[in-house]
Structure formats: structure tokens, C-alpha cells
Structure 1
Amino acid sequence: MTQDFTPGTVYGVGLGPGCQDLMSVRADRLIRGATHIAYFRKKGRKGHARSIVEGLLAPGVVEMPMEYPVTTEIPFDDPRYNALLSTFYSRCVAQLIEMSEAGGDVVVLCEGDPFFYGSFMHLYTRLLNRVPVSVVPGITGMSAAWTATGQPITWGDDVLTVLMATLPEAQLAEHIAQTDALVVMKIGRNLDKLRRALVHTEREADAWLIEYAAMTNQRVIPFSEVEESVPYFSIVLIHGNGRRP
């Protein structure tokens, strides 16, 4: 007589902005109890997600690094970019399904929140209806960034817009001009383009740059004082100033 077999669950666990004590209790429990973990990283790097959980993992945990085949080497609008990433995600999903079907739970470490501009989303949609999947939300980097400024990001009826600095300059300027409060991510090599859009909309003086929010090397400065290149973990903010009692 055969017994029903229950596959393991793949957990997408949000780690928050990069500080262990900003993880949720649920995330901490799952990570400490994990027998299998997976995480994204650049080739040749330890991976930021893996670094965040240093010291939390149980002895003997099985690690599955998922190394991106491409990051900035090919423009994201190049057809090769999507093709390479699609193949990469499919390969990662096959490995996760194999682990699940062997009966083991897998914790996938996700920087920030798994459903907010994260790579895990591409695994999640491919895993659905194939193996059990569960998502643990996390504090986003932008939340840590506006908290680091010591100012509320929105008041009353303020409209908050989240932009990727990878957008064309004209689109950046259009959105910046129309919103009350602003978050801009993925700055990096798009810094000069973003600066021109802020100057064009006469909002540069209102903007702040936050580097490594909630991490030990956090830095908060007015955007107008930024002269050099900025690290990947940088966010630009404009605070709303809306209705209040």
C-alpha cells in the first residue's frame, strides 16, 4: 500500500533592506530552520542576500547559488537579455522543483520584498501549480530609505510614484513633474540622466540620495551635492508635502 507523497514547499523569503534585525520573525524562523537555501548572486560574488543571513544558517545546510548569466553586460532592451534570463530562470526552477519533489523545503533568500521588483517573481510564476510555493513579505529598500531621511514620504492625499532610472529621460521628467512624492531606483549609470530630468522639472533641490539604507555604511545627502558615481544600493527620494491637520 503506497502512501500519499507531499512535496516540499519553496519559500520566497523577504530579507528586508539588508539588516538582520529588520527581518520578520517568520523570515528569521524559516531561515534558521532551513535545510536547503537558494539565492541569487553575480558570478564570482558571495551574493548580497547570502551575506545578510551570515551566522543564521544551521550547520550542514545545502546551498544553491543561482548565478546570473548577465547583469549589465548587455542592455536590458537587447533581445539577448531576455532570452538569457528566461533560460536561466527556467534552469533555476527545474532545480527547485527537483528539491521539492524529493520532499525538502527550500528557502529562497530575497532582498527587500519578494514581490517588489525582485528576481524571485520570475521563479514564482514558473513554480505556480507545479509545487507548493509560499511568500514571506519583507521591508522594502525604499521604506528604509525614507526612514533614513527622518521625514515622512507622504502626507494626506499625496501621490507616490516609484520609477526606475532605466526609463528614457523624457519619461522620467514627465512622471517627476506629475507626482507629489517620488522614489527612484536602479540609479547607477543612469545618474546623469536622472539629474537632467530633475533639473528640467525644477525638483533637484527637493531630492535626496540615500545609499545603503539601513546598512552600516548608510549615507543620506541632498541630491544636489552628489558629484561622483553612486553605488547600486542607492535610492533618490522627493518627499510629499500634502494635506495634514
Structure 2
Amino acid sequence: MEYALVTGGSRNIGAAIARRLTEDGLGVVILDRVEPEHDAFVSFIDQDLTEVDGLRRRLGEIVSTFPVTRLVNNAGIVLPAAVDETDPADMARVHAVNVVAPVICLQSVLPTMRAAGMGRVVNVSSRVALGKELRTAYAASKAGLHGMTKTWALELGRFGITANAIGPGPIRTSLFDQVNPSGDPRTKAVVDAIPVRRMGTPDDVADAVSFLSSERAGFVTGQVIYVCGGMTVGAAG
């Protein structure tokens, strides 16, 4: 069996990714701080991604047991704030989870991928990398993730390893519903701004991850694919 490591794979988008990769025949290892809300995994490891030494140790244990050839860096934190209220400590925390942890995860699984002559890295980013109010720290981290994705594609292609990013738009999750109550005019405005006239679902993102994680995607690398119902095009226009 081949294995996928999914950070933040316990619920919402991460859970959908874990379920889909399991359906694809992969054994899924989840790295998260909360217990999975599903059973689509072969192993769950409770680990704080900001604890570098602990993270490296846990990853070492994972790769010694599971030959991981797929890495999905899905975990992330936001910490919204206006630019004049953005705390450097908060920026460092967001950077630790959204930028540093993906690097450490990749470093840990690279030997297995190189030995297999095949690897797939999928970074779950956000269309917020293009800019959004109150998201200085988050947007900076996701834009950085895009830069790393392209760099990894150039460095690792010769080993049969691809690296791509997915930028979800508005996705219907428990967190979105909490922040954007149903019936609120602002929620309606968000949906009305989506060209396909519906919210995205975690499965929409999981479908894209499934393809980019597959052997069929061997000629796709260094790309940022926005799963956003057309909102990115609208913003660009």
C-alpha cells in the first residue's frame, strides 16, 4: 500500500481529503491537534505543528512505519487583524503553521519519495493569497506557500516528484457557517459574488487534491489551481 500524510486531516476540508484519498486506495496518516471526525485513516498523530523538535520526531516515526509518497499540507491558521493592529507574534505563529511546518513535513518525506522515484506534494493555500482585508499575516503566509510550491517543483521534478497548490474560495465548512450565519445579508453577498452561484464544498477541494495526488498528474507541477467557483477570475476582472 502507498501512503499519504495529511496535516489538519481531522475535519472539514482535511476530512474530505482523507476520505477521498482513502477511496483512491491510499493509506492516510493524519497529523492534527483534534481527533478525526471520520474513520478514513490508518494512523492519527496528535502533534502541534509549531513545536519543531516534536514535529520532526513524530515525522521520523511516521516515515519509519509508513512509506509516504503523498504529502498534503492542509493545516493552517488565520488570526485576522487590520494591518495597524497586526501583532508580529501572531505573524510568527501563522508563519510557523502555514509556512515552516510544510517545509519540515516535506523534508521528512523526501527520502521515501526519492527512493520510490515518485512523489506528490499538494499545498492547500487560499485565494486570500491574492489579497483580502484583515488578512496581512494569512495572505503573506499563503503567498509564501505559492512561492515555495513553484520552487519545489523546479528542485524536485527530476526525481519524479511534483508540487502544486490549491487555492480554495468560499467553502461550506463549520467554521465558515460560524463566521457567516445563514440568512445574514453579508453571507448572501458572498454567495452572490460566486459566478457558479453556489458555495464550494470540502469535496470540491478533495477532488482537486485527488487528481494532483495521483499518478495521472505527473506532468502537472508548480501550479496554483483555484477551486473557487470562478471568484478568482471575477476578482482579476
Q: Same fold (TM over 0.5)?
A: no
Pick the structure with more helix per residue.
2
TM-score interval (norm. to shorter): 0.3 to 0.5
TM-score by length of 1: 0.35
TM-score by length of 2: 0.36
